[in-house]
């Protein structure tokens, strides 16, 4: 070691020898009973956070820097130090700003080391550029082993030992932060009662470890303390939040209601919230449930600002920063909005005023996704159509006033999660737009119906208008898929089974046709179900059409009732009405496949003959009949006829 001296400072050239963590800890224990030179430096305004800096040098040594030649200058307390311009580290040269980048520390005018305040290089562009949900490139698969290990670590004695156990498998600051994050999110429970107290109490880390419960201040304080023990710069950031108890459109004032953290990694500050990463509070029961949420780990600042507004705008890490008024008015996308793959939603404000009694919401997603909605807690008064990358929803509130609209998305999971909430202000109701209560979501064919085996629909739009109350809808059907359709209106006098009779289904080899006759004017839901023939169980709802008819003269009868032997490829040309007039000769014309004989049975029996075009033709008389049946003989060697169609005859 060599000493150099000038009029203002003493310079010491030395070789820094870095020992292992265990050895350094043992040495620190021995020094506790002696005078600690580092403590003297801290008490006199010297370099604080030196131990954290030493850990940084240890990391550099592990990466191949075996010897470190340092020059240390000791200045009078009241002198402004001329910080070293550069220092040598193995074969690389660093300027002093590099030291700040590595440690996240910078000196104040008194020479004290403190966390560097966020600056321009930490700022991300606003609005979100859709590049990533994270503020730095991450491959979450890289953390799988570390996450599994950290989540299983138990508290043995104190915080220092816990952190030591957590970071044993960590090889970088990022992995150290990740291990601490995973442990807190899986072991610390949100204390709902403490959070609701008027005077929020301070939780000591030792108490949190003992009870494993805390409020948001405790989460943030514990996270900061554990990061500092691990040698990672971390600060607690207080502010306002759109969390538990938040009401859409509310304003913020007074005391801050939340706290989270910023961590210094790879030369930049990053944001995280371990409180919200650990789980959620049920708004109805006020009970906390552990439910890990990856979204709040190193969240992109342009997304973090949607529900976190810091006391210091610099901690937004945004360029330009947002004002409190913007924070209050901006649309709040829940974390599940992004977790489920959503990209954007329109309108971008949380309050929507209806136009001519209608409100429209569109969502763009990065992949096909299933959606549903609820207006005032019910899946009614709206048309939701799926798009390849998103959805479109048209809502018609049934009354004037304020309404709550919730939108849910399924994503890759089996559970729908709430992703958006709007407040609707309605000052006009269009009475002509009354949707059937049985109109379920989605409306119209889409990527989902194609995925379920229904392709190339004749009507790609979700709404079908008919002037005479009749329509014919067809679509391709994949092999092995059975289709079932039902018609639903709001006429309570017609049973569901009867309403099915207003649809006549024709199944051809690879295509199905639905002939529909409406019983009266109005709006009807035509539901489409599918089922794999080889599988047990019920038919699955796929989508529905909205059928609209304004012609009040419409009064179509039901189709004839068909039975199980009405086979694929059969076609009925006449009579299409399921109710026949009394005392009349009625012509019949059908295309039937794979049968030997066909007849019509009423009071008497009338055979049908096969014409050259392949149709079975004939007629019957309805005199004295209440019901008429079409029957077929499938095998000429048998004498057993099967029922395939049934007609009713009007009273005389």
Centroid of chain to Cα 240: 23
Please give the structure tokens belonging to residue 15: 């070789």
- Catalytic residue check, 273: yes
Ranges of H-type helices in 199-342: 205-211, 216-229, 274-278, 301-304, 324-329, 335-339
Out of 258, 270, 308, 333, which one is annotated catalytic? 258
- Catalytic residue check, 258: yes
Q: Is the dihedral of CA 120, 126, 130, 134 positive or negative?
A: positive
Q: Could you give the 3-state DSSP secondary structure of residue 238? A: strand
Pairing of strands 540-549, 463-465: parallel
Name the DSSP letter for residue 342: E
Q: How far apart are CA 230 and CA 217, in angstroms?
A: 20
Q: Could you give the 3-state DSSP secondary structure of residue 437? A: coil
Compute the radius of gyration of the chain from its Cα atoms: 37
Out of 122, 147, 173, 273, which one is annotated catalytic? 273
Q: How far apart are CA 605 and CA 612, in angstroms?
A: 23
Out of 147, 187, 216, 308, which one is annotated catalytic? 216
> What is the DSSP code string of 133-159?
SBSS---GGGGHHHHHHHHT----S-H
Element of type H or E holding 195: helix 192-196
Cα 521 to Cα 155, 365, 466, 468, 491: the distances in Å are 71, 38, 10, 9, 11
Write down the residue that tokens 């009064």 correspond to.
555
98 phi and psi, to 5 degrees?
Answer: -65, -35
Q: How many residues in total does the chain contain?
A: 652
Other beta carbons within 10 angstroms of residue 640's beta carbon come to 8
Catalytic residues: 216, 258, 273
């Amino acid at each position: 070691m060599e000493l150099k001296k000038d009029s203002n400072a003493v310079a010491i050239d030395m070789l820094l020898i870095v020992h292992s963590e265990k050895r350094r800890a043992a040495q620190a224990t021995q020094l506790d009973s002696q005078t600690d030179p580092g403590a003297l430096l801290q008490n006199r305004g010297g370099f604080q956070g030196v131990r954290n800096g030493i850990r940084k040098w240890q990391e550099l040594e592990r990466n191949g820097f075996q010897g470190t030649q340092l020059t240390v200058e000791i200045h009078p307390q009241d002198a402004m130090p001329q910080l070293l311009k550069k220092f040598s580290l193995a074969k690389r040269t660093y300027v002093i700003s590099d030291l700040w980048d590595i440690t996240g520390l910078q000196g104040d005018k008194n020479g004290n080391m403190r966390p560097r305040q966020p600056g321009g290089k930490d700022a991300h562009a606003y609005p979100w550029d859709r590049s990533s949900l994270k503020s730095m490139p991450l491959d979450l698969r890289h953390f799988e082993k570390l996450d599994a290990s950290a989540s299983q670590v138990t508290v043995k004695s104190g915080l220092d030992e816990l952190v030591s156990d957590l970071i044993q498998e960590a090889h970088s600051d990022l992995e150290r932060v990740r291990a601490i994050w995973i442990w807190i999110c899986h072991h610390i429970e949100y204390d709902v009662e403490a959070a609701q107290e008027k005077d929020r109490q301070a939780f000591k880390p030792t108490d949190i470890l003992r009870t494993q419960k805390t409020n948001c201040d405790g989460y943030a304080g514990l996270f900061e303390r554990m990061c500092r023990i691990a040698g990672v710069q971390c600060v607690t950031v207080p502010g306002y939040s759109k969390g538990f108890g938040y009401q859409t459109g509310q304003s913020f004032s007074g005391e801050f209601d939340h706290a989270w953290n910023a961590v210094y990694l790879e030369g930049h500050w990053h944001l995280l919230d371990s409180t919200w990463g650990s789980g959620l509070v049920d708004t109805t029961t006020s009970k906390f449930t552990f439910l890990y949420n990856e979204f709040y780990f190193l969240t992109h600042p342009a997304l973090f600002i949607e529900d976190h507004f810091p006391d210091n705008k610099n901690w937004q890490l945004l360029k330009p920063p947002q004002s409190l008024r913007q924070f209050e008015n901006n649309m709040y996308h829940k974390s599940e909005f992004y977790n489920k793959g959503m990209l954007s939603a329109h309108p971008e404000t949380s309050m929507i005023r209806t136009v001519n009694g209608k409100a429209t919401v569109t969502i763009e997603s990065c992949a096909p996704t299933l959606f549903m909605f609820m207006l005032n807690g019910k899946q009614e008064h709206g048309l939701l159509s799926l798009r390849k990358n998103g959805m479109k929803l048209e809502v018609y509130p049934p009354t004037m006033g304020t309404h709550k609209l919730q939108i849910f998305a399924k994503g890759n999971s089996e559970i729908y999660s709430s992703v958006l909430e709007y407040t609707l202000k309605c000052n006009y109701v269009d009475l002509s737009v009354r949707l059937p209560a049985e109109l379920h979501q989605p409306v119209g064919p889409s990527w989902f119906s194609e995925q379920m085996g229904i392709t190339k629909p004749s009507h790609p739009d979700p709404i079908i208008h008919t002037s005479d109350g009749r329509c014919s809808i067809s679509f391709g059907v994949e092999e092995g898929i059975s289709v079932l359709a039902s018609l639903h209106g709001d006429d309570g006098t017609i049973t569901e089974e009867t309403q099915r009779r207003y649809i006549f289904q024709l199944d051809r080899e690879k295509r199905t046709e639905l002939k529909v006759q409406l019983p009266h004017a109005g709006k009807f839901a035509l539901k489409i179900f599918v089922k794999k023939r080889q599988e047990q169980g019920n038919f699955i709802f796929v989508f529905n059409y909205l059928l609209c008819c304004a012609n009040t003269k419409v009064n179509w009868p039901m189709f004839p009732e068909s039975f199980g032997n009405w086979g694929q490829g059969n076609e009925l040309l006449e009579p299409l009405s399921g109710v026949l007039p009394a005392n009349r000769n009625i012509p019949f014309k059908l295309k039937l496949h794979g049968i030997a004989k066909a007849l019509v049975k009423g009071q008497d029996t009338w055979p049908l003959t096969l014409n050259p075009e392949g149709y079975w033709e004939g007629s019957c008389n309805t005199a004295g009949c209440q019901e008429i049946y079409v029957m077929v003989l499938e095998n000429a060697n048998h004498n057993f006829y099967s029922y395939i169609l049934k007609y009713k005859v009007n009273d005389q």
